[in-house]
Amino acid sequence: MLYVIGLGLSDEKDITVRGLEAVRGCSRVYLEYYTSILTVSIDRLSEFYGKQVIPAYRETVELESDEILRDADKEDVAFLVAGDPLSATTHTDLILRASSLNIPTQVIHNASILAALGSTGLQLYNFGQTLSLPFYTDTWTPGSWYDRLEENLRVGMHTAILLDIKVREQSEENMARICFTAPRETPLRTSAISSGPLFPPSPSPALRVIVIPVNRDLILHSPSFLEAILPSLSPSLSPSLSPPSTPLSPREYQQRSVSLWVPADTAPHSPGADSSTNLPDS
Provide the phi-psi class of 120: left if phi over 0, else alpha when psi is between -120 and 50, else beta.
alpha
Question: Can you tell me whether residue 226 is helix, strand or coil?
Answer: helix
Is 232 one of the binding residues for a second copy (CB under 8 A)?
yes
Interface pattern 185-204 for a second copy (x via CB under 8 A):
--------------------
Q: Pick the binder of a second copy from 29, 56, 111, 218 (CB under 8 A).
A: 111
Is 24 one of the binding residues for a second copy (CB under 8 A)?
no
| Candidate ranges 39-47, 56-64, 90-98, 166-174; the one touching a second copy (CB under 8 A) | 90-98
Is 170 one of the binding residues for a second copy (CB under 8 A)?
no
- Sort 24 into a burial class: Cβ within 10 Å, 0-12 / 13-18 / 19+: middle
Closest to a second copy by CB, 111 vs 207, is 111
Distance CA 167, CA 274 (A): 11
Number of shown-chain residues binding a second copy (CB under 8 A)? 63
Closest to a second copy by CB, 150 vs 173, is 150
Alpha-carbon radius of gyration of the chain = 19
Is 134 one of the binding residues for a second copy (CB under 8 A)?
no
Residue 66, Cβ neighbours under 10 Å: how many?
A: 9
Q: Pick the binder of a second copy from 25, 50, 118, 142 (CB under 8 A).
A: 118
| Candidate ranges 52-60, 69-77, 227-235, 242-250; the one touching a second copy (CB under 8 A) | 227-235
Q: Pick the binder of a second copy from 27, 181, 224, 246 (CB under 8 A).
A: 224
Residue type, 273: A
| Beta-carbon contacts of residue 87 (< 8 Å; ≥ 6 apart) | 112, 113, 114, 115
Q: Pick the binder of a second copy from 74, 139, 155, 251 (CB under 8 A).
A: 155
Provide the b/e sequence for 229-256 (b: ≥16 CB within 10 Å): beeebbebbbbbbbeeeeeeeeeebeeb
Write down the least CB distance from residue 190 to a second copy, Å: 23
Instruction: Yes or no: say if 237 and 146 are a contact pair by the CB < 8 Å rule.
Output: no
Residue type, 231: P
Interface pattern 70-89 for a second copy (x via CB under 8 A):
--------------x-xxx-
Instruction: Yes or no: say if 147 and 129 are a contact pair by the CB < 8 Å rule.
Output: no
Is 129 one of the binding residues for a second copy (CB under 8 A)?
yes
- Sort 68 into a burial class: Cβ within 10 Å, 0-12 / 13-18 / 19+: buried
Q: Give me the residues that bind a second copy (CB under 8 A), please.
A: 4, 6, 8-10, 12-18, 20-21, 84, 86-88, 90, 92, 95-96, 98-99, 104-112, 114-116, 118-119, 121, 123-132, 151, 155, 157, 221, 224-225, 227-229, 231-234, 237
